[in-house]
Amino acid sequence: MADPATIAAVAKAAAAALSDERARKAIGWVIAAVLSPLILMIVLVCSLLSGTTNHNNTAVELCFHGGVIPSSMPAEYREYIGDMRQSFTLIDGAIASVNAKMVDGDSLDGYRVKAIFYSLFFGAESPSRLEHRRYVDCFVTYEERTRTVDNGDGTATKETYTVAVPITSLPAVYNNIRALFGRAVTYEDQANANEIYYRARYDTGAPMEDDDSGLWEDWTPDQIDGFYSDLPVGEAGAEAVRLGMYRLGDPYSQELRGQGSYTDCSYIVQWVYKKLGVNLPGTAAAQGKYCVDNGLTIPKSSLAPGDLVFWSHKPNGRYLNITHVGIYAGDGKVVDASSFKGQVVYRDLFDSGKQVLYARPYAEAPEASVSGLISPLGKSWRSMVTSEFGGRTDPLTGEWAGHSGIDLGASKGTSIRAAQAGTVKTVVYGSTGYGYYLTIDHSGGLVTLYGHCSEILVREGQTVKAGETVAKVGSTGRSTGNHLHFEVRVDGVKQNPRNYLP
């Protein structure tokens, strides 16, 4: 029989396929009839534990709206749902207490409060034992105010009272949650929470990509400060514009994108750059995250033909709330697939106040150092260093200890690239200090190590190219948060990676 990890991976993929509208239309619901009840249960269980936006709608329905938990579900997962329901009861009580301190008709959105809690703690050990009142307090601020009270005898007295004021900024809420629980709240957590919110409250998915400027909500992209790179302008940019112009007039459709001439904003960008040999993800938010993770972002003042412009037109919980992307065409113009216009258009670069990111994906070629190594996390690696090579205060023990590499902080799932061409020497999954890690032998006695990965995408003995994605950032092993532990070894001796990176 296949090992549990393999079964989980297959089941998760099946759950994701069945949750996607286009995938269902392509493969048909007949698959559900073919799969045995056992396999369907595996799909359900694995989907329950998924930290991605492909969460299980059945579990959301049971937690938010009640109902009988299927007796066929394993006891462990029945317990997860039962504990989440108990947590929701405690959260509802805390919300009622906080709402009693509000004025002017204000109140907390209980669906939002519980959706975020669900995304962070479903499947965790005993979330109902957490401090639910302090969690709810992450969504409000408290103000001391004074008022005049009539004593009923012709006199009046001033008294001080406390008012709860809802926090309208989700980034501020997430910062409060980070401080309370001492844990990172990832992009995936936030996207999952928003998807759960819409499913629970409206029985529909969260808003997708378009250029409709309604429902605007400010979201300051502070997290990309300092990520800008000095990227060369090349002929590939002009070719990207030419390819984009070739699609002018093609009809817009998210559901039919890729079929015939149908496209949407992210698909046309993906199509153009695939023609140029650059493989970008399939959604605008993921494309923006890819560019940030790989050091491909630029300031607006550096925009050149072929660069990408990303907009945030409505709150959707995805990366930087990105909802739309277009290809800058020069002279203040952009080529993009517009939902508002219903087709691919060439128009003025619009909505300046809602542009949140600019990137140059065709400048993908990594920069190598004198030693021939490239950064495993892109050109902005220096701004990611959280712990240096050599002696340091151990973050877990508080005692002075040696550190055999450098730590590069990055969000979970960020691509880790081979620092140089070579052969994968070891791939280790297990409870080691490095967590999930791999090493690559570059010949001549040079070996690099990549630790604390959430996923490893290569196998032992595999030949890899410089810049090829070999793993994803995580926090496995002896770790206090998502990061890459990167080592350089020469003839078995650990070296300071700073001396080898560009």
Give the pLDDT score at 65.
94
* Residue 8 reports pLDDT greater than 70: no
The whole-angstrom separation of Cα 209 and Cα 326 is 12
CATH of the domain at 411: 2.70.70.10
Residues 6+ apart with CB under 8 A from 5: none
Same domain, 388 and 345: no
Same domain, 305 and 184: no
Same domain, 339 and 231: yes
Residue 483 lies in a domain: yes
Residues 6+ apart with CB under 8 A from 138: 167, 173, 176, 177, 180
CATH of the domain at 294: 3.90.1720.10
- Would you give the DSSP letter of residue 462? -
Residue 109 lies in a domain: yes
Give the pLDDT score at 50.
38
What number is the average pLDDT over the span 399-406?
80
Hunting for tokens 């093609």 — which residue is that?
A: 250
Same domain, 421 and 466: yes
227 versus 341: which is more confidently predicted?
Answer: 341
Residue 12 lies in a domain: no
Same domain, 194 and 235: no
Same domain, 407 and 312: no
Residue 236: domain span: 222-359
Give the pLDDT score at 443.
93
pLDDT digits (tens, 9 = 90+) for 125-171: 889 899 999 999 999 999 999 989 888 888 999 999 999 999 988 87
The whole-angstrom separation of Cα 72 and Cα 157 is 63
How many domains is the chain built from? 3
pLDDT digits (tens, 9 = 90+) for 329-343: 998 999 999 998 999
pTM of the complete model? 0.54
**How many other CB atoms are there within 10 angstroms of residue 250's CB atom?**
16
Residue 2 lies in a domain: no
**Mean pLDDT of the residues in the chain:** 82
Tokens for 31, please give them: 């698959």
Tokens for 89, please give them: 């009861």
* Residue 279 reports pLDDT greater than 50: yes
Same domain, 354 and 228: yes
Same domain, 394 and 316: no
Q: pLDDT grade, residue 38 (50/70/90)?
A: very low
The whole-angstrom separation of Cα 208 and Cα 204 is 11
Give the pLDDT score at 322.
92
* Residue 36 reports pLDDT greater than 70: no
* Residue 53 reports pLDDT greater than 70: no
